[in-house]
Amino acid sequence: MINAIIPAAGISSRLYPLTKKPPKCLLEVNGQTILSSQIKQLENFNVDKICVVVGYLSHLVEDSLQPKINIIK
């Protein structure tokens, strides 16, 4: 079994004002969010369990995740 943890809890102050509403992990690059890109790559490598650590604007991150992704607050 392969597990992965994605830290997505920071304020990302250096990217402000881009990160005023969405946190950095939800910024889009090439048509997809940074977080969804990371999750897709982990799934491509057959990672069994993915946990995302949330903090800043956690409700937005949680709303963007699939039910199979574990959330750590």
Tens digits of residue pLDDT in 27-38: 999 999 999 999
Per the CB < 8 A criterion, the answer to whether 8 and 53 are in contact is yes
Task: State the pLDDT at residue 37.
Answer: 97
CA-CA distances (angstroms) from residue 5 to 26, 50, 66, 69, 70? 16, 6, 15, 10, 9
Task: State the pLDDT at residue 70.
Answer: 96
pLDDT digit string (tens) for the chain, length 73 residues? 899 999 999 998 999 998 988 999 999 999 999 999 999 999 999 999 999 999 999 999 999 999 999 999 9
| pTM for the structure as a whole | 0.90
Cα–Cα distance, 30 to 38 (Å, whole number): 13
